[in-house]
Amino acid sequence: MTAEEVPGFASGAASIALGGTGGREGSVRDGDIVMLPTDAGHYLVEASADFLVVGATNYLDRSTNQSMTYGSPNSDLQHFLRSWLSDPLRVSAVAPSGEALARLMTREISPCDGPILELGPGTGVFTKALLDRGVSESELTLIENGPDFARLLRHRFPQSRVLLADAARLGRLDLFPVASVGAVVSGLPLLSMSPRQVLSVLRGTFGYLRPDGTFYQFTYGLRCPVPRPILDRLRLKATRLGQTVRNLPPATVYRITRRPSN
């Protein structure tokens, strides 16, 4: 079956009919997904008030029994949802970050920070924001360990260097001259990683960062996702750069830099 739409049901419950008018009825609820082949007719019969579809936009018109399209298919959302279903811990989000978060993550970065390293770019929301800030694509190295995402990134950003690699093993790769990178933008799910992995990510990337270089990390959590003992061990400090509620879920961005030496 060639699936064109893969809506996932984030909350509530509903009855839907698949296969056009008079098609087969079934029920869905939070946690379910449906894979719909090209042009499959699908209708909403009834739904609870909190019924929410992700991976596509919800469009409901029960009075006319109009085709339930969930809006136009959005390939990035589908990509994310599929990747999340295959490896929820690695992907840690059912949808790409929004533009507001991408702007916040990249707002301090300028072309003179190149070369720039991005960790866990996914579908490239932050990558695009970096290009919007005038950074040249050829100055970007993208480290992604999801094979589907890496393929998509190579296609989307052909002049960047895309490596299918584990960001926790960066220190073992010889990617840049020591202290040459101006900024690291990280979408890594640090809260799903072990302290040992987080330590390796930071040790590896700070080996490449200039003395005044900055590591930007976002989190959905309430505090910096790098544990205090790791910051102390590497002599780093984390500063809250800002928060955006125009992201689902709301996210906070931290700026991590070296502590000044006395």
User: Which candidate, 255, 197, 201, 195, places its Cα nearest to that of 228?
Assistant: 195
Is 130 a residue that touches ligand SAM (CB under 6 A)? no
* Separation of alpha carbons 91 and 187, rounded Å: 10
Nearer to ligand SAM, 17 or 185 (CB): 185
- For 83, phi then psi, to 5°, come to -65, -40
Is 129 a residue that touches ligand SAM (CB under 6 A)? no
Q: Which of residues 35-74 bind ligand SAM (CB under 6 A)?
A: none
Segment lying near ligand SAM (by CB under 6 A), choices 2-10, 14-22, 34-42, 85-93: 85-93
Nearer to ligand SAM, 149 or 208 (CB): 149
99 touches 125 (CB < 8 A): yes
Q: Which of 171, 189, 207, 227 binds ligand SAM (CB under 6 A)?
A: 189
What minimum distance in Å lies between the beta carbon of 120 and ligand SAM? 2
| H helix and E strand count, the chain | 7, 14
Q: Which of 82, 90, 161, 210 binds ligand SAM (CB under 6 A)?
A: 90
Nearer to ligand SAM, 161 or 237 (CB): 161
Is 122 a residue that touches ligand SAM (CB under 6 A)? yes
> How far apart, in Å, are the Cα atoms of 245 and each of 58, 80, 98, 221?
21, 21, 10, 13
| Distance linking the first and last C-alpha atoms of the chain | 64
Segment lying near ligand SAM (by CB under 6 A), choices 33-41, 42-50, 93-101, 154-162: 93-101
For the chain, the farthest-separated pair of C-alpha atoms sits apart, in whole angstroms, at 76
Counting other chains too, the contacts that 157-161 makes at CB distance below 8 Å and 24 or more residues apart are 157/124, 157/127, 157/131, 160/127
Q: Which of 43, 126, 206, 254 binds ligand SAM (CB under 6 A)?
A: 126
The site that binds ligand SAM (CB under 6 A) totals a number of residues, namely 23
Is 253 a residue that touches ligand SAM (CB under 6 A)? no
Residue 54, SS3 per DSSP: strand
> Which parts of this chain interact with ligand SAM (CB under 6 A)?
90-93, 96-97, 119-122, 125-126, 143-146, 149, 166-168, 187-189
